[in-house]
Amino acid sequence: MSSNARAHIMRAFMIFTTLLLPFLRNLSRRIRIFSTIV
């Protein structure tokens, strides 16, 4: 694997993590609210 491909994968992973982070934060908040109701 070339270093260029590795950089491309790292960039894609960072974008994926950035997009996923708010969703995970929102999900954990919902789980916490749900657990307090139950």
The CA distance from 30 to 27, in Å, is 5
The CA distance from 11 to 14, in Å, is 5
Confidence of residue 37 (pLDDT cuts 50, 70, 90): confident
pLDDT tens, 4-20? Answer: 999 999 999 999 999 99
Task: Read off φ and ψ for residue 26, nearest 5 degrees.
Answer: -65, -40
- Count the domains in the chain: 1
Q: Supply the range of the domain harboring residue 17.
A: 1-38
Name the pTM for this structure. Answer: 0.51
